[in-house]
């Protein structure tokens, strides 16, 4: 038997160009950081890639026993959460009876929140009940912690709100 060449003295056609053959992965040289999805209580593993301190990609972590590299639509969109050009990087404040929001410095906004928490705490704080039993608590403030926090962070938040501020209603979502 003999064979006739289909294309004499030419390389068979490839499904990609020579220029494509020379390209590499955009993740080449990137720093990999293991992370956890910030959305729900499941705690899916994520691989976060950075180059020169700039976020370039977020993917599901295939080594995670929870999600095995898959992400839900919200988790898969976390890259856009971080780098979206429409993301607001300042605080907005609407004065009482105003019809529009104003940009305010972040430091001002944080101080304003602290002032409002202090006002609410002082207004609802009860040192003793009617029988003279020491309470040192406030029931006008509550807090709900997120599932992406670890035990140590939840412990410190519990200490801050319970022992520090006297808040009775402190709840932290379980992390699986």
- What is the DSSP secondary-structure string of the chain? -----SSTTSPPP-SS-HHHHH---TTTTPEEEEEE-SSSSS--EEEEEEETTEEEEEEE-TT-TTTTT---HHHHTHHHHHH-TT---SEEE--TT-SS-EEE-HHHHHHHHHHHHHHHHHHHEEEE-TT--EEEEEEEEEEEE-TTS-HHHHHHHHHIIIIIT-EEEEEE----
pLDDT at 8: 58
pLDDT at 6: 58
Maximum separation of any 2 CA atoms in the chain, in Å:
108
Q: Is the separation of the CB atoms in 20 and 56 below 8 Å?
A: no
pLDDT at 169: 84
- Arch. (CATH architecture) of 28-83: 2-Layer Sandwich (3.30)
pLDDT at 5: 57
Digit-coded pLDDT (tens) for 92-110: 999 999 999 999 998 999 9
For strand 167-172 and strand 134-145, is the pairing parallel, antiparallel, or unpaired?
parallel
pLDDT at 9: 62
Q: Count Cβ atoms below 10 Å from residue 44 Cβ, excluding itself.
A: 23
Digit-coded pLDDT (tens) for 7-25: 556 666 677 777 877 788 8
Digit-coded pLDDT (tens) for 35-65: 998 877 788 999 999 999 899 999 999 999 9
Cα atoms in the 13 Å half-sphere on the side-chain side of 133: 4
Domain boundaries, the chain: 28-83, 91-171
């Amino acid at each position: 038997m003999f064979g006739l060449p289909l294309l004499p003295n030419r390389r068979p056609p490839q499904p990609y160009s020579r220029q494509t053959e020379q390209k590499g992965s955009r993740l080449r040289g990137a720093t990999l950081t293991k992370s956890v999805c910030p959305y729900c209580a499941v705690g899916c593993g994520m691989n976060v890639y950075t180059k020169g301190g700039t976020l370039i990609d977020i993917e599901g972590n295939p080594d995670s026993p929870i999600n095995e590299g898959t992400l839900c639509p919200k988790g898969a969109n976390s890259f856009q959460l971080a780098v979206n050009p429409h993301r607001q990087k300042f605080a907005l404040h609407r004065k009482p009876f105003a019809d529009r929001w104003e940009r305010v410095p972040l430091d001002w906004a944080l101080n304003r929140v602290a002032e409002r928490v202090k006002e609410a705490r002082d207004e609802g704080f009860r040192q003793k009940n009617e029988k003279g039993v020491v309470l040192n608590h406030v029931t006008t403030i509550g807090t709900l912690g997120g599932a992406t926090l670890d035990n140590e962070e939840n412990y410190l938040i519990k200490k801050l709100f319970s022992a520090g501020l006297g808040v009775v209603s402190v709840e932290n979502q379980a992390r699986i």
